[in-house]
Structure 1
Amino acid sequence: MPLALALSPHLDDAAFSAGGVLARMAGEGWEVVVATIFTATVPEPRGFALACQTDKGLPPEADYMAIRRAEDLDACAALGARAVHLPLREAPHRGYHSAAELFAAPRSDDMAHLQAHDAIAPLLQEARPDLILAPQAIGGHVDHVLTVRAIQLLDPRAPILWWRDFPYITRADTPRRPFVAMMDRFPETELPTDPAAKHAACAAYATQLGYQFGGPEGLARALATTEGRERARVQGEAPVLARAA
């Protein structure tokens, strides 16, 4: 059975950006693994890190990341995928103190890409994926940028589908494309998708829906604007299933 490995910065990125193709591949007999990099619980968050939790309606004492990991298990079940949670801290726990800083250049002292490299490397060795899916880092969120840097350091042998980061691709205020020169070297293809399974997976991230979309109805509207389509840049020789249907 061929194996596809999605390397997701956060607990929702793979489903939001490539959930349709992941579900389609699972339905076609692929083993699908979604490995999320920044999932660590950080006890007693403060400042901006705490605000990222309370602005979603969660009390300070809640284990925000445990709630999110549980949502991810439900989302991956909807996709037919297996979830893997890697133990790195999200950017607000690494010295980023505002939303503006999250979408600026990574801090010079932020070595999360090296930590991500060390966390992903044994997973690649164990899983030996036939296909990797990963973000282009459209929007420029530092965790997405450092995920791409980690993958560049790893230089995996498997072909890569670099997905278009949703919902950032729909937002005029987050147009940054820090890897555009690299991504433009790779051909872009439209992917076969399962829109219903993607919607179900995205809806599982209940803590994020109000903040990102204004609620479940907003999620449905945002997904409707894509007409169920997903596109990716193809590095290497993509499997037949990963080409436009």
Structure 2
Amino acid sequence: MSKTHLFLSPHFDDVVGSCGGFISRLSEKGEKVYILTIFGGDSLFPLSELANELHLIWGAETIVTTRRNEDTLACKKLGAISNFLPFPDAIYRKNSLGQNLYLTIQDFRTLQKQEDNMLPYEIVCSLKNNYNISCSTIYCPMANGSHVDHILTQKVGFLLKKEGYNVIFYQDFYYEQEENEIFNRLSLKRIDINLSDQELTSKINAFKCYKSQILCLFESWDSMEDYFNTVGSVETFAFFR
């Protein structure tokens, strides 16, 4: 019987950019891989100035639908199945008065708003109610970039681990150079996986599906490929001892 792996991705592209090579390896072995984007819900209007600016950069009026379609194609290239939960991205979330919670990029990386405190518990309930997670290995981000959505997804991993689920953390791509306090705070075993040429190629080809994000993240397609051919050729995971 093949094993089941559930990768929790804060946003569309996070898991593929962070673990795409390893996912390709799992798929080649015949194991079932599911990639679930936590903050894949619809935009909440009216959009903030920041959300409008990002939509212009991403180049699509119906950006959430575009990103869902990109993710479906990327996951398919890796032999994985994609899906998403209805929780909105931080750039769309609002308080009870309809005011946007996060107004700048810096807001995402400073302090989690009080209104988000219950989100990890709500996400865990949604996972339990809609997915058979008891037999899966569950992968969550280390949140080394300190993005609030990554931190909230990391907290989901801690809650699931506390309940006895098999949880592994993965290092978030794009933020590898930033301090990763999770290794200092917890007694975790670090595993670095060196990708084969075939696995790396599969990862890059899958990431190319995220056309709306590449110029925003890397400024050019060549820079994206250079990044994955160097930094992205090793994927890092952390296991509870």
- The normalised TM-score by structure 1 is 0.86
Structure 2 CA distance for aligned equivalents of residues 34 and 119 of structure 1: 15
Letter in 2 for 1:139: G
Residue 69 of structure 1 and its aligned partner are, at CA, apart by 0.2
- On the 8 A contact 2:9/2:15 being kept in 1, the answer is yes
Give deviations 1:29-68, integer Å, cap 9, x for gaps. 100000110011125423212222112233xxx1111000
Q: After TM superposition, list the pairs within 5 Å mapping 1:48-197 onto structure 2.
A: 48-58=50-60, 62-94=61-93, 95-111=101-117, 112-124=119-131, 126-155=132-161, 157-170=164-177, 175-177=178-180, 179-183=182-186, 185-191=187-193, 193=195, 194-197=199-202
CA distance in 2, matches of 1:207, 1:134: 24
Structure 2 residues not aligned, in runs of 5+: 94-100
| Preserved CA contact (<8 Å) 1:32 1:82 | yes
Structure 1 residues 64 and 212, CA, compared in 2 at 3 Å: closer, same or farther?
same
User: Could you tell me how far apart the structure 1 residues matched to 2:30 and 2:194 are?
Assistant: 14
Task: List gaps (5 residues or longer) in structure 1.
Answer: 237-245
For 2:98, the equivalent position in structure 1 comes to none
Match of 1:208 among 208, 213, 217: 213
Query: 2:214 & 2:234 partners in 1: Cα distance?
Result: 20
Q: Which deviations, in whole Å up to 9, do the C-alpha atoms of 1:63-122 show, x marking residues without a partner?
A: 111000000000100110001111101111121000001111211222332332222223
Q: TM-score, normalised by structure 2?
A: 0.87
Matched pairs, number? 227
* Letter paired with 1:64: I
The 2-side partners of 1:105 and 1:202 are apart by: 30
Contact 1:137 1:178 in 2 (8 A): no
* Superposed CA RMSD: 1.9
Residue aligning to 2:7: 6
3-state SS of 1:169 partner: coil
Question: Where do 4+ consecutive residues of structure 1 move more than 6 Å?
Answer: none
Percent identity over paired residues: 24
Instruction: Give the equivalent residue in structure 1 for 2:41.
Output: 40
1:29 aligned to 2:30? yes
Task: Name the counterpart of 1:241.
Answer: none
